[in-house]
Amino acid sequence: MAAIVKKETTVRKITKVIPRGRLYVSATFNNTIASVTDEKGNVLCSATTGAAGFAGSRKSTPYAATITVETVLNKAKAYGMNQIDVFVKGPGPGRDTAMRVIRAQGIKVGILADVTPIPHNGTRPRKAKHNR
Domains of the chain in start order, with CATH, are: 20-114 (3.30.420.80)
- The CA distance from 110 to 107, in Å, is 10
What is the number of residues in the chain? 132
What are 3-30's pLDDT values in tens digits?
Answer: 665 555 556 666 778 889 999 999 999 9
Give the number of other CB atoms < 10 A from CB of residue 96.
13
**pTM across the whole model:** 0.80
Element containing residue 75 per DSSP (H, E): helix 62-77
